[in-house]
Amino acid sequence: MEIFLIMLALVGSVFWWNYRRFKRMRAQSFDWYAQTYPQHIQDGQARCRECKNSRIHTRKVDNYSLREHFCPNCGVTLYYSPLPE
Ligand SMILES: [Zn+2]
């Protein structure tokens, strides 16, 4: 019985951690980027805040329905967006 409770607590904390991570990533949206780094928005397009590169790539975030927008030049993550349905 005790082992069951320990397992439940472990699984619960993994879910909780994943949920927190998801919320944190989802909060870093394009709007957040535009508000935080308005100097790096040009013609409605974001550019890298580190190297000013305007060619932003995207990749799917494993296990989450989110896309990561990142700079292929220096690798920094800029913002996240929901996956298209
Ligand atoms: Zn960059």
Instruction: Quick: pLDDT tens for 26-80.
Output: 999 999 999 999 999 999 999 999 999 999 999 999 989 999 999 999 999 999 9
Expressed in angstroms and rounded, the spacing between residue 23 Cα and the centre of ligand 1 is: 24
Expressed in angstroms and rounded, the spacing between residue 72 Cα and the centre of ligand 1 is: 7
Instruction: Quick: pLDDT tens for 6-23.
Output: 999 999 999 999 999 999
Q: What residues have CB less than 8 Å from 3, skipping those under 6 apart?
A: none
8 Å CB contact between 83 and 62: no
> Residue 35 sits in which domain range?
2-82
At residue 85, the pLDDT reads 72
At residue 1, the pLDDT reads 78
At residue 84, the pLDDT reads 81
CA distance 69 to 82: 11
Total of domains in the chain: 1
Expressed in angstroms and rounded, the spacing between residue 77 Cα and the centre of ligand 1 is: 9
Expressed in angstroms and rounded, the spacing between residue 13 Cα and the centre of ligand 1 is: 34
